[in-house]
Amino acid sequence: SIAVGAAKGGETIFIKNGEYESSQITLTKNLKFVGESREGVLITAVSGNNKGIFYTPLSNAVVCSCSFENLTFHDVVYTSNSYAVISMGRITSAEIKDCTFINCKGPAGTIQLQTSTTGVIDNCIIKNFIGTSSVSGGINLGTSPGGYGYYYVRNTIIDNTTYAGSAT
């Protein structure tokens, strides 16, 4: 989160292999997050984090584009209905590529996108997600108010997700 605060926008934040415990990171500028290797960058949530890891405020339009690549999120548990592990609400565009989500739990899915242009989820793995409400799912997609979002989900595996006690 220090790198996010120091960034002016348009930068790429490289993340070295290692295990990271993250608090909520609010994004309001164009940023790209790239892990050294998908298997090597392991991110979990700080205890008490109830909004997932990366998010933009869902209530206000944020004019930014964000992308995430080569990251593994594991054992992320959150409680807020408005957020997911990665929640990009009302932004211009988002790309999530070569990311893995394992053993995560919450009410709004692992990935939640509301874009006014394009959302891309490519070559991701969502495994053992437990949804805690009937609106949970592996991926939640929507259109920003006043926008026309296009979504592309390619080469992505969603395996053994459950929500509200039912298999999906």
CA distances from 160 to 8, 94, 109, 130, 131 (A): 39, 25, 13, 9, 11
Higher pLDDT, 158 or 115: 158
What's the gap between Cα 127 and its chain centre?
14
Q: In this structure, are residues 86 and 45 in contact, taking their beta carbons and an 8 Å threshold?
A: no
pLDDT, residue 83, reads 81
Q: How confident is the model at residue 168 (pLDDT cuts 50, 70, 90)?
A: very low
Contacts of 24 (CB under 8 A, 6+ apart): 49, 51, 52, 53, 55
Strands 166-167 and 162-163: antiparallel
Closest CA to 122 of 151, 91, 149: 151
Stretch 46-68: mean pLDDT: 80
Predicted TM-score (pTM) of this structure? 0.90
pLDDT, residue 147, reads 58
Is residue 155 over pLDDT 80?
yes
Neighbours of 147 (CB within 10 A): 16
101-121 pLDDT, tens digit per residue, is: 999 988 888 998 887 788 999
Is residue 149 over pLDDT 80?
no
Is residue 135 over pLDDT 90?
no
